[in-house]
A and B are shown apart, each in its own frame.
Chain A
Amino acid sequence: EAQVTQNPRYLITVTGKKLTVTCSQNMNHEYMSWYRQDPGLGLRQIYYSMNVEVTDKGDVPEGYKVSRKEKRNFPLILESPSPNQTSLYFCASSLGTVNQPQHFGDGTRLSIL
């Protein structure tokens, strides 16, 4: 089954404790992206990757890192999480970037205390 898989689905942690949210897709998609969704603010793009070893900042990259060492994986790293990073996070992938819709993972609910 074609899918985007995020882990964990839920995480409660404390300020400053490094964490990684993994994202994996099995559709051989070139493009992957991370979003956060907060009430009243919609989905905002954090980082995206057009291909292996190519990553770029989205609209809200501060406090996040990503890597794209393999085509299928695009982990989101919070080196020193803070409470303002409490949010619902979505990973997405698509075949390309022009006229190609994105497929989303189930989301990760992150709470930073």
Chain B
Amino acid sequence: RKEVEQDPGPFNVPEGATVAFNCTYSNSASQSFFWYRQDCRKEPKLLMSVYSSGNEDGRFTAQLNRASQYISLLIRDSKLSDSATYLCVVNRTPGKSTFGDGTTLTVKP
């Protein structure tokens, strides 16, 4: 079993839709969590850090559920520009980062 698993996708949604991605992790001692987006094999860019209390940034909401060991990303009112691959990242121990394989989102007009 992989240490970090993501919904494989792809997700194809119309503009304006709400879409949610989940990511599960296996190491209960994992310390910090992030969502990144990656466009077409370019460098990953930070979308949001994920905190236990949940956090929101405009149309994006991230949640962490430590008991069930998953993180989620909710995108509301999807835009064409949201089309990308979304990567969850789990820092297991100081220094060691594990990326999910990514979920591809395509937002269509």
| A residues lining the B interface (CB < 8 Å) | 31, 33, 35, 37, 40-45, 48, 50, 56, 58-59, 88, 90, 97-107
Contact = CB atoms under 8 A, between A and B. Distances in A.
Interface of B: 31-32, 34, 41-46, 49, 87, 89, 91, 94-102
A42 B101 contact: yes
Contacts of A103: 46
Contacts of B46: 101-103
B31 A98 contact: yes
Contacts of A88: 41
Contact of A43 (B31, B96, B99): B99
B19 to A, nearest CB: 20
Nearest to A50: B95
A98 B97 contact: no
Contacts of A102: 46, 89, 97
5 contacts: A42-B99, A48-B97, A98-B32, A99-B32, A101-B49
Contacts of B41: 37, 88, 107
Contacts of B42: 106-107
A97 B49 contact: no
A50 B101 CA distance: 25
